[in-house]
Structure formats: structure tokens, C-alpha cells
Structure 1
Amino acid sequence: MSLLTPAQLSWAQGAAPPSSQTRMDLAQQTAGIQLSGADYAVVGVVMVIALAALAFGYVLIKEVLAAGQGTAKMQDIAKGVQEGASAYLNRQFRTLAIFAVVVFLVLFALPAENTAELIGRSVFFLFGAAFSAAIGYLGMWLSTRANLRVAAAAREAGTGREKAMRVAFRTGGVVGMTTVGLGLFGAGLVVLVYAGGAPRVLEGFGFGAALLAMFMRVGGGIFTKAADVGADLVGKVEQNIPEDDPRNAATIADNVGDNVGDCAGMAADLFESYAVTLVASLILGTAAFGLHGLLFPLIVPAIGVLTAVIGVYITKARAGESALTAINRSFFISAGISAVLCAVAAVLYLPSSFSELTGVSETIRNTSGNPALIALAAVLIGILLAVVILRLTGYFTATEHRPVRDVGKSSLTGAATVILSGMSVGFESAVYTALIIGAAVFGAFLLSASLPVALFAIALAGCGLLTTVGVIVAMDTFGPVSDNAQGIAEMSGDVEGEGAQILTELDAVGNTTKAITKGIAIATAVLAATALFGSYTDAIGAALADVGGEIAASQFFVYAPNVLVGVAIGAAVVFLFSGLAINAVSRAAGAVVFEVRRQFRDKPGIMDGSERPEYGKVVDICTRDSLRELATPGLLAVLAPIAVGFGLGVGPLAGYLAGAICTGTLMAIFLANSGGAWDNSKKLVEDGYHGGKGSEAHAATVIGDTVGDPFKDTAGPAINPLLKVMNLVSVLIAPAVVTLAVGDAANPAVRISIAVVATAVIIGAVVIAKRRSTAIAEASPSDKAVNGAA
């Protein structure tokens, strides 16, 4: 396996490309890395820490489930949410199992260094997919039980706020510890079995995790926002009843959606971020630091496990202190401890000179600089990036800061100004966040003049950010659990006074923590995707060595027309993906609106409480539509890189990835932060600002919130796994693209045929999706009359 060496860098600038023999020598050096007894001990300790994380998660589960469950009515409502969420995920997993088996078989057709790695890549694809699914299911299972307990805890006089917050945050702690535990255990197991060949096998592991996460993110996002939008439009705007009023047939589906979208989907999303960042780090580390580069990326997140335990346990709001302040303090403390421990690990484990590294090329051994200090600086950049994004995203989405207050104030002039001001917040925050992420990437890149080392530094920055992921997942899960708790409280009517105020506060804090974790997730996605660029180059170099061919340097110049076309296509795919996701929510929400309206019309006793709404019908609509909409975004993510790579070549495919990363970064942040600002501006009005509930300002912010729902919880978060799926597909297909394009095995007919088939499938899927009605319902009588007259 070879990377873009300094010689290759000069080749990209116009000099002669390096010989195939040079690449082959580097590939043999990297593949020949073997673990010693001490190295096995390091991996063993890492895996023990991973298992300890899982054990700690189990302890937290017992603690959460030991909390009180409230009244019988509260338990009955929670049971309905549990049954709906389980039914949805079971159906989704049955659907995705077929897709996973197909991809598992296709992976056997792609080139690999040897048979063992070919089998390992496919087998660990299933491991990655299974781990991602398991974490998502655990997040859903526990959150549907914790929401009830948070609502019950809020009812306790004097200690309600502290206890409710603790139960909600430690529920997230369970998911966080499971995420880091399974991610670290999976990566450690591959390194233990495959040693120097681990990075190539881990490509399958990361791909499985990313693919399942993307499907769960898209499907869960469509479900939750279809129910949420439908419930708000009919309940709040048309019937003027509270958000979680039990008379609204969409309320159970709305609460189910919080769990399958925000808990299950986001848990799987952050797990795949964890897995893919480790994949990129190990691939690049073996070439840049040799054996040390294979193990150090495991040590850093292992430290993160220890600091996550501290972060979860110290989260406690002081008297008169907001819950958000307490959560942020825990995050900062755990990040600071991580920085100190990573500094110790870098100094003790890594050598002070590149000449002391083993399993690297002669070029790397002659590189100037201190590997320990470079690695430490890179990890600190990642930790600092997480801290800065937390502060920046909190500023743009929290209720106590000016952006959200300005959006709330704009409600005095109607829904249009609410939407405009919210979009302004999203656009502005996207610029600042993208610049900060770019500064982190460039800062890590400047740590070494050697390109392989610089790329590894970027990957290590991602690992540094991952040291905080246990607390990040806890922060994210805190949001939907608090939201559900407030829903159960309102539907049951058994939580009043101070308890209701506590749940309202925690819900608003949860909106901010969800926005923060989305910002950090996209930062992780960008770091991982940028690092995977090095892996992509590596795959091309290894394939060229195998076929004995060369590719003209002009194929990679950014100003070359073919590369610019690739950039444009990559940017366009992000827009198309986002549009498909938002339109899917629109169609499903339309069906929910018509169903809830029908029930209010046909069952007049619902309003006075004499008749019970048919909650199950709305759950069925959301389940059916969300699963039906999965195929098109999934096919686009997997097949678009195949169409570009086989159709235009490896240079335009690199441009495609660059366009997707840049556009995806801005789009994801814009969608997440504008949606978060709209949601919390609605909370402001509901707290009594600008007229309070039932006012025209309230109706305006509800419209803004419904626009923002698919932004922040469907399309925006789904871009994270999209970027990594496309990068990993590109890494996996690069050898096949090279084989069919250059050398004795070149076959333009087969290459173009693959591209044409992939393009045709994408077009067919999009056309079928667009043929579906925007609002799935029969035309109203007035529509029929107009059509008939026409």
C-alpha cells in the first residue's frame, strides 16, 4: 500500500510520476508490519478499555431503569411509544438486511491485496453494519423507557430538576459508552487479527457502519419530521391545541419519531463517524508512522473512553444554574482531561525522530520533525475544534443569545420574516463554522512538510475530536429524551406546576445540545472525509503498482475541465440528496395532515374527550412512507461515485469528492442551525414572549419550526454519513477504476457500461420518487370541482 509521497506530490505539480516499482516497495513495507508482544499488549489494553466502556454503559442502564415510572396513565402513553418505535425499527432492519447482504456479496467482486483481506473486508462490513444497527436500536430502546422516568422525576418536589436532568443525561451516557466501546472494540479486533493489513479490512467495517447510519438517519428523519410537521400544522395552527395534546392523532407518532430519528438515527450516525475516522487514521497512520501509526489512533479514543466516564458522572446543575451551563462545563472538563492524557500518551509512546519509526519508507524516515509533537498538536487541534464549535453553535441556536431572540422577535411581523431571519442565521453560522473547520484542517496539514504525515495529522485531529464523542452522544440523546418526557407529561396531564416548567427548560436545552452535536458531527465528517482523500490516493497508487500503469498528472489538476465537472457533480449531488429528503418529509407530512384532519372531522368526540384518536393509523403512515423513501437517497449515495469514477476517471472522482465535501459542509450546517434557531424561537414565544401561546406570533414561529424540522432532523444530519459513504465507495472502487482504465487489463467498454448502468439506476430512482404526489391524499371536493370545470 502506498501513499502520495513527496515524489508523487511533485508529480502532481508537473514533474515525472514515480515508478510503479517505488509504489510496490512502499506497499510491501506497509503490508509487512507485524505486531510484537508489546504491541499485542497495547491492543489488548485498548480492547479491555472498550469492554469496560460497555460494562459502564450497562451500569448506567441499571441506574436509569431503577428510576420511578410515574402514574399508570404516563406508563400507558410510554408503552404506546415503545411499541411504535420497536415496530418501525424492526421493519426497517428487515428491509435493510436485504440491502446489506447484496453489498456484502458485491464487495467480493472488488480487488483486494489477498484472499484473507478480501474475506475480512466483507465480513467486517457486516460487523460495522450490525454494530451501527445495534447502537441505534439500543438508543431507541432505552430512550423510550427513560422519557417516562424523566417525566416522573420532574414531579418530585425539591429534587425534580436535578434528578430529571441526571436520568436524561445518563441515558445519553449509555448510548455514548456503547458507541465508543463497540467502535474501539471493532477496530482493535481487526488490528489484532490483520496487523498491517488492518486498514484495508477496516474499509469494509467503516463502510458498513456508514451505510446503515445513512439509511437510519434518512428513514428515521423522514418518520419523525412527517409526524412532527403534521401534528403541528393541524394541532397548533388549525385546532389551536397544545403541541402534545392527546386529542391530536399524530402525537404518539411524533414521540415515536423522536426516538427512531434523533436517538436511533443520531446514535448510529455518531458511531459511523467514530468508525470511519478510525479507519482513515489507521490507513494513513501505517504509511506515515508505520507500526506506531497503526496503534496510536487506537490509544487516543481509548483515552476518550476514560474521560467520557468522568464527563457523564460530573454533569450536575448547581443551584440557579441552567442545565446547558452544567452540560457545557462537563464537556469542557472532559475535553481538558483528554488533552492532558493525550499529551502524556504521545510523549511516552511515540518516538522523537522519524528515523526511529519502523515499517515506513526511507522518505518518511528522512523527514524532519518530531513525530510525538506533531501527533500531539494534531490531537489538540481536534479537541479545540470541538470546543469552538460547541460555543459557536450554542451562540446561534440557544434561547439566551441574540440570533434566536431576533428570530423570535421577527414573529411580530409574520411567518415570512421568521423564515427569512432563520435562514439568515443558518447561512451566517455556516460560514463561520466552515471557516473554523477549514482552519483546523489546514492547521493540521501544516504540521509537516511530508504529505503522508500531514494527512495523518488531519486524521489525528479527527481522533482528538473523538475523545469527546462519549459526552457528545450523551448531549445529543439528552434532547429527544427531554422532548419525549415533556410530551408524556402533557398528554397525561399528570405533571403540573414546577414539574412542567422543569421539562420545558430541559426540552429547550435539548434543542440546543442537538444542534451542537450536529455541528460537531459535521466537523468529524469533514475531517474524516478529508483524511480519506489520502486513502483514495493510496488506493490509486496501489492499483497502478499492480497493473504497471501510469495516469497523466493533468488528470488531477483542479483547473482541468474534467475535474471541474466532477466538482460540480459532487456539489449537485448534495443538493439533490437534500432536496429528496426534504420532499420526502413533505409528502409524508401531507399524508399525516390529511389523516389527522379526517379524524377531527369524522370523530367530533375527539375534541371533548369522548372519543379516542386512532394513533396507530398515523404511525403506520409514517412507517410506510419513511421506508418507501429510503431507496432513492441510498442509491444516489452509493451509485453516484461509481458513475463518476467509471465514467470520467479517478481525477474527476477526486473533484467529485471535493465538491461534495465543501458543499456538504455548508449545507449541513445551514440546515441544522437554521432549523435549531426556528425551533428555539418557537420555545421563546411559548414561554410568554411576543404574545405567548395562541398569538399570531406563536402561529408564525410554528410555521418556521415546521419548515426547519426536515432541515435540522432529516436532510442536514443525513449529509454527514452521505459524505463518508461516498468517500468509502470511492476508496473501494478506485482499484477497479484504475484496472479498467490503464494497463493490460484496460477495458473501456466495461468501464463505460458500469457508469451507464449506475447513472440509469439513479435517474430511474429519482423519476419514480418525483412521480409521487407532494401530498399523499385524494383531492379535496373543491379540487375535484375545479378539475371537472376545466
Structure 2
Amino acid sequence: MSDLLYIPPVLGVAGIILAFIIFALVKKNPAGEGKIKQIADAIHLGAMVFMRREYTVLFIFAAVLTVLLYIGFGSWHTPLAFVVGALCSASAGYIGMYTATFANVRTTVAANQKGASEALSIAFFGGSIMGLTVASMGLLGLGGLYLLFGANPEHAEAIHGFGMGASTVALFSRVGGGIFTKSADVGADLVGKVEAGIPEDDPRNPGVIADNVGDNVGDIAGMGSDIFESYCGSMIATIAIASTMASSSVAIMASGAETAETLMFLPLALASVGLICSVIGILVVKVFSGSDPAKALRIGTIGSTLLLMLAAYLVIQYFGIHFNVWLCVVAGAAGGIIIGLVTEYYTGGKPVRDIARGGETGPATVMIAGLAVGMQSVVIPVLTIAAIIFISSSLLPEGAGVYGVGIGAVGMLATVGITMAIDAYGPVADNAGGIAEMAEMGEETRAITDGLDEVGNTTAAIGKGFAIGAAGLAALAIIAAYIETISRKVEGFALNISNPEVLTGMFLGGIFPFLVSAITMRAVGDAAFDMIKEIRRQFKEIPGLLEGTAEPDNARCVDIATTAALKRMVLPGALAVFAPVVVGFGIGPEALGGMLGGALVSCVLLALTMANAGGAWDNAKKYVEKGNLGGKGSDVHKAAVVGDTVGDPFKDTSGPAMNILINVMAIVSLVIAPLLVG
């Protein structure tokens, strides 16, 4: 067993090397000259400036938490794991965003010079770097810490700090990036499309560069950190559950002298083979890139999942673990596919056309139809999550059911390399279309990038649904690990709904998703207000701007979005980190457990509603822009744009913040659990 412990970090290093090889291949493609290069450089510079300023604020916050952890635990083990987790998460987001800003312009040039197949390959390879980096950083960081602490029961709990570091970075990156991108997007759309009547990504619009920068910092760096923390959180929770499991349950589930250690190592082993399956899936997409883009991406994703099921069976058989554990992996992996397909239907199928038709009677009916679609879309994904929980916990012996839930979450997230790749592909393709429009590269090029972008919108929506489902399962596993950790030191500890402290905690937990949603929605609205005023000012005060004879002040809009994001991302992060501390130490571990349960249910329901409603509004607008129901500039189009502007913070700011919120609260609770009963 000891020799096998080196496999995850070694594969992590190999994955990072492969990501840089792919980046080198992407960079070999021509990046254009003149105006196209100038536009791409402005997007790259804006993204880098934002990331540096965001990470500066994040460094201060993380430094304070590191000191508090050292004071609380009186040792360096948990603070070290926290720092490693934060660094791995931040590095994954930064590398993915940095490389995407090189892939976007090369996708545009390829669409112009070589056609759709080559453009798809470059855009997907740009997203693949993000996917491989997320998976590899998780294996390297968590696998390395497991080598350091995992074999020592006294220090094993320090690994929980890794999840807390990753979650803290994820919340700041997702919320900050989401506020940035949507304030720019809403401002650019409302003034540009509705008021000035100019096309999307028109170079005359001062908010367009900021909008394209936001696609990178929000939908790539933010999404990467989001998936990273769920990916690592599911493994950490499963390791923690295995370490606290009764010896009788362990003996039933595994055979051999190292049964407990085998069950603890299994999540890392599954994630390791998942990385290999993801690489194969990426190669499959490359092979099929000459056909329909949506078909190629679907074959790669589903193929990777099927490969994982086979590989997981071989791994579980090799370790001599109970067959039913493999069924838990299958349940989680299959559930991820179901959630993705349901999300694809609600954000790209008949409901989208129904919303668009609502525009014939004005913005109000667009809003009503979109909200109804978002609410209805919750049903099947939540039933799927419930089925995964029920099946996974029922398959294993009494006392080990929660381990099955954790393994199910790992099964859903093990192929995160390909899942994140197709999600990050979307913003790269979107940027490519924006660059093509701003550089005035013609209708033929724009038609190719629009086709890639349309597929990217669907993959991004699928990615959000997958992220929410995965975060819900990961959070549930972490909560189970929290209960097991407390139970080891408090005999008879349980979360009974008849307990007033538990019930109080449940209602307190239900508050936070709505409070954080309100804060982030207000942040986007306030920042968009400032953005709209600035764009209007430039249209009015810069002579010749609307005529196309003068250049807009793009840097000013980027600065407005950056400042707004940095100011308003701290409060949601502080609430998520410190609320469990206040409730846990102020009321007790029962109330904290209840709070986590209430927050989990509210977060999942609210996140699915907002993400799917926002995605449906976005694609309804694009459906009209393709020439349906009057096309661009019609009253139906203007109504659909209003729906899209409301949907923007739904799907890209507040909705994604929910899955990170519950994971941050859960992992902080798990970290402080030993202190609550110490």
C-alpha cells in the first residue's frame, strides 16, 4: 500500500506537464496582427490586472485565517494544509485563465483562416488546460498531504485544512469574478443593444472589452476554483468518513490487513484513474472535432464517464473492496450525466423557445416564463441527487452508508478533467466571437465562432448544473464527516429534528443562501449602474464614437468592474467562513449541524433555479438573434435582452455562489469540529 500512495501526486505532476504541452501546442497557432492582436492584448491585460488585484485581497484574508488556525490548533499541520489548498486552488484558476486568454484569439484566427474544425480544436484545447490543471493540482496537493499526514491518525484531520483553503479561494474567485463579468455584461447589453441599437461585441461599445475580460475571470478562473473545491472536498470528506468508521463495518467492506487504510486511499485512487480517463476523453474530442461540435463534446464526456466506471471496477477489485462500493461509483457518475442532460434540455430545448415566444407580449412575460422554467428545472436534478444518496447509502452495511454517499460524490467528480474542459471551452469560444466582431473579420468568420459559442453556452449551462449537483453531494459528505468527527468524542451525538438547537440551526442555515444571493445581486446591480452611466457618458462626450471614428476608453470600464468586484466580494466570503464559527461556539455543535442541513437544501434548490433560469433566458435571446420572431432589433429581441440581463447575475454570480457557499460552511465546520468538543 505504501508504494501506491505516490501514484496520485506523481499523476498530478504528469497532468500539469501535459497541460503545459497542450498550451505550447495552442501557442504555436497564429495569433493575428494589427487590430486583432491589440484587442486580444487588451483582454489579456485586463484579466491579469484583475487577478493580481483580487489575489492581493485574497492573500490578506487567507493570511488572517492562517494565523487564526495556528492559534486555534496550536500546531502548524492544519494551517499548512490550509495554505497548500489555497495555493493549489489559486494556481489552478490563474493558469487556466492565463492560458485561455491566449487560446481565444487563436480560435478566432483559426476560424478565419482554417475553418470550424481547427477553431473547435484550439478552443477545446484551451479549455482542456483548465480541466487538466484542476484535476492535477487536486491530486498533487491532496495526494502530497495524504503522504505527509494520512498515515498518522493524530495528524490526519489536518488534511481538512486543505479543503478550507480551496473553498475560501473558490468563493472569492467565483463571487468576485461573477460580479466583474456580469456588471460589464449587463452594462454593455443595456446601453449597447437596447439604447444605442448596436450589435453585441461592437467595438464602439466601451463595455465590450470588460465583458470579454469577465468571461475569463468569472467563467474560467472562478469556475475552475469552484469545481476544484468540490473535487477535493468530496475526497477529503470520504477519507474522513473512512477514518472514523467502525471496525466491524470496515471488515465487511474490505479484506486484508490494511482495510481502513485501503478505504481511506480509495477516493485518491479513483480520482487518479479519473484523470487518465479524462485525458482519453480529451483525445476523443480531438478525433471527432471534424464533425458536429456538440456531438464531439458529448462523446468525449460520456465516453470518459463510461471508462471511469470500468476503471473503478478494476481498482475496487484490485483492493479487495466490496462490489457494492463500485455500484456507489456508478450511481454518482450516472447521476452526473443525468443532471447534465436535464440541464441541457431546460437551457437549450423547447423551454427556451417558449421563453422567446413570451417576448411577443413584452419583457414581463419573458420574465414569468424564465422563472417558471428555472423552478421546474429543479425537480429531476434534485430527485437524481436524492436517488444517489438513497442508493449509495442503502448498498453498504449499516454504519457505512455515508461512505457510499462520499464515494458517489467522488464518482461524479473523478472525471473533472474533461468536465471542466468542456465548460471552459465555452468562454474561450465566446471570447473568440467577440474578438471577431470587434476586429470586423466578416460574416463568415463570425458564423463559425457563433456556432462554437452556441455549443459553448450549452456546455457552460451543463457545467453549472453538474457543479451544483456535485457540490451538493460533496457538501453532504462533508457534513457526514463532521457528524462522525463529533460522534467520536461525544457519545450519542445526533442531529434530531426534535432538538430545538438543531431546528434553530436549520432555520439559520436557510437564511444564508438568500442573504448571499441578495448581496451578490445587489453588487451586480450597483456595479452595472456605474457601468451604464460610464458607457452613456462616453457615447455622449467622445466625438465620433458612435460613428466609429473615435476609440472608446475601455480601460475605464475595466477599472469600474474591477473596483466593484473587489469591494463587494469580501462580505459574502466573511459570512461563509465566520458563520459556522459563531454558531458552533455560540450555540453548539448540534445547532451548527442543523445550520449545515438547512443551508444545504436551500443552496441546492436556489442554485439550480437561478442557474437554469439564467441559462434559458440567455439562449432565448440568442434564439431570437438568429432571426426568429423578428430577429435582432425587434421588440421581441429587446424583451429577450431584458430577460438575459436579469438572468446574467442569476446564472453567473448568485447561482454559482450557492454551491461554493455550502461547501465553505461545511468544510469550515469540519475543520473546527475537534475544537468544538476539545
Quote how far apart the aligned CAs of 1:418 are. Answer: 0.9
Quote how far apart the aligned CAs of 1:47 are. Answer: 2.3
Partner of 1:311: 281
Rounded to whole Å, the distance in 2 between the matches of 1:614 and 1:437 is 47
After TM superposition, the structure 1 = structure 2 runs for residues 628-643 of structure 1, keeping only pairs within 5 Å, are 628-643=567-582
The AA in structure 1 aligned to 2:271 is P
The AA in structure 2 aligned to 1:418 is V
Rounded to whole Å, the distance in 1 between the matches of 2:575 and 2:146 is 32
2:6 to 22, 44, 64: 44
Rounded to whole Å, the distance in 1 between the matches of 2:424 and 2:66 is 31
Rounded to whole Å, the distance in 1 between the matches of 2:292 and 2:443 is 18
Tell me whether 1:519 sits opposite 2:519 in the alignment. no
Partner of 1:393: 343
Contact 1:600 1:607 in 2 (8 A): yes
After TM superposition, the structure 1 = structure 2 runs for residues 538-557 of structure 1, keeping only pairs within 5 Å, are 538-544=484-490, 556-557=495-496
Structure 1 residues 276, 199: closer, same or farther in 2, change over 3 A?
Answer: farther
The AA in structure 2 aligned to 1:443 is I
Tell me whether 1:469 sits opposite 2:424 in the alignment. no
TM-score of the pair, normalised by structure 1: 0.82
Rounded to whole Å, the distance in 2 between the matches of 1:72 and 1:307 is 41
Quote how far apart the aligned CAs of 1:503 are. Answer: 0.7
Contact 2:339 2:380 in 1 (8 A): no
Quote how far apart the aligned CAs of 1:40 are. Answer: 2.0
What do residues 435-466 of structure 1 show as CA deviations (whole Å, max 9, x unaligned)?
A: 11111111111112322x21111111111112
Please state whether the residue corresponding to 2:677 is helix, strand or coil.
helix
2:145 to 190, 215, 221: 190
Partner of 2:254: none
Please state whether the residue corresponding to 1:110 is helix, strand or coil.
helix
Rounded to whole Å, the distance in 1 between the matches of 2:530 and 2:457 is 26
Partner of 1:657: 596
Rounded to whole Å, the distance in 2 between the matches of 1:339 and 1:574 is 34
Quote how far apart the aligned CAs of 1:296 are. Answer: 1.2
Partner of 1:65: 27
Partner of 1:672: 611
Contact 2:244 2:488 in 1 (8 A): no
Partner of 1:383: 333
Please state whether the residue corresponding to 2:382 is helix, strand or coil.
helix
Tell me whether 1:505 sits opposite 2:444 in the alignment. no
The AA in structure 2 aligned to 1:385 is G
Partner of 1:226: 183
Quote how far apart the aligned CAs of 1:318 are. Answer: 5.6
Tell me whether 1:490 sits opposite 2:490 in the alignment. no
The AA in structure 2 aligned to 1:292 is T
Contact 1:536 1:730 in 2 (8 A): yes
Partner of 2:255: none
Please state whether the residue corresponding to 1:315 is helix, strand or coil.
helix
Tell me whether 1:104 sits opposite 2:59 in the alignment. no
Larger radius of gyration: 1
What do residues 599-638 of structure 1 show as CA deviations (whole Å, max 9, x unaligned)?
A: 1111231011222111111111111111000121011111
The AA in structure 2 aligned to 1:83 is L
TM-score of the pair, normalised by structure 2: 0.95
1:53 to 15, 19, 23: 15
Please state whether the residue corresponding to 2:395 is helix, strand or coil.
coil
1:274 to 231, 238, 243: 231
1:406 to 350, 354, 365: 354
What do residues 511-537 of structure 1 show as CA deviations (whole Å, max 9, x unaligned)?
A: 111111111111111111111122211
Contact 2:244 2:485 in 1 (8 A): no
Partner of 1:592: 531
Rounded to whole Å, the distance in 1 between the matches of 2:32 and 2:220 is 22
What do residues 333-365 of structure 1 show as CA deviations (whole Å, max 9, x unaligned)?
A: 111111011101111112xxxxxxxxxxxxxxx
Contact 1:81 1:255 in 2 (8 A): yes
The AA in structure 1 aligned to 2:80 is V
Identity of paired residues, percent? 40
Contact 1:230 1:593 in 2 (8 A): yes
Partner of 2:395: 447
Kindly tell me the number of residue pairs found equivalent between the two proteins: 663
The AA in structure 2 aligned to 1:462 is A
Please state whether the residue corresponding to 2:3 is helix, strand or coil.
helix
Rounded to whole Å, the distance in 1 between the matches of 2:443 and 2:497 is 62
The AA in structure 2 aligned to 1:328 is R
Tell me whether 1:173 sits opposite 2:139 in the alignment. no
Partner of 2:479: 533
Tell me whether 1:336 sits opposite 2:306 in the alignment. yes
Contact 1:418 1:704 in 2 (8 A): yes
Rounded to whole Å, the distance in 1 between the matches of 2:481 and 2:440 is 55
Quote how far apart the aligned CAs of 1:563 are. Answer: 1.8
1:132 to 71, 89, 92: 89
What do residues 458-502 of structure 1 show as CA deviations (whole Å, max 9, x unaligned)?
A: 1111111122211111011111111111000000102x2332111
Quote how far apart the aligned CAs of 1:316 are. Answer: 4.5
Tell me whether 1:95 sits opposite 2:57 in the alignment. yes
Contact 1:110 1:732 in 2 (8 A): no
Rounded to whole Å, the distance in 2 between the matches of 1:196 and 1:647 is 31
Please state whether the residue corresponding to 1:155 is helix, strand or coil.
helix
Unaligned runs of 5+ residues in structure 2 are 251-259
Contact 1:162 1:316 in 2 (8 A): no
What do residues 169-225 of structure 1 show as CA deviations (whole Å, max 9, x unaligned)?
A: 111111111111110111211121121436412111010000001001000000000
1:205 to 162, 168, 173: 162
Tell me whether 1:79 sits opposite 2:79 in the alignment. no
Partner of 1:579: 518
Rounded to whole Å, the distance in 1 between the matches of 2:450 and 2:338 is 27
Quote how far apart the aligned CAs of 1:94 are. Answer: 0.8
Rounded to whole Å, the distance in 2 between the matches of 1:679 and 1:721 is 23
Contact 1:675 1:705 in 2 (8 A): yes
Quote how far apart the aligned CAs of 1:293 are. Answer: 1.2
After TM superposition, the structure 1 = structure 2 runs for residues 254-269 of structure 1, keeping only pairs within 5 Å, are 254-269=211-226
Moved more, 416-425 or 44-53: 44-53
Contact 2:96 2:133 in 1 (8 A): no
RMSD: 1.5
Partner of 2:108: 151
After TM superposition, the structure 1 = structure 2 runs for residues 556-571 of structure 1, keeping only pairs within 5 Å, are 556-571=495-510
Rounded to whole Å, the distance in 2 between the matches of 1:596 and 1:388 is 42
Rounded to whole Å, the distance in 1 between the matches of 2:77 and 2:42 is 41
Rounded to whole Å, the distance in 2 between the matches of 1:161 and 1:236 is 27
Structure 1 residues 321, 407: closer, same or farther in 2, change over 3 A?
Answer: farther
Quote how far apart the aligned CAs of 1:717 are. Answer: 0.8
Contact 2:343 2:612 in 1 (8 A): yes
Partner of 2:541: 602
The AA in structure 2 aligned to 1:186 is G
Contact 1:147 1:482 in 2 (8 A): yes
The AA in structure 2 aligned to 1:378 is C
After TM superposition, the structure 1 = structure 2 runs for residues 753-768 of structure 1, keeping only pairs within 5 Å, are none
Please state whether the residue corresponding to 1:446 is helix, strand or coil.
helix
Partner of 1:730: 669
Contact 2:284 2:299 in 1 (8 A): no
Partner of 1:217: 174
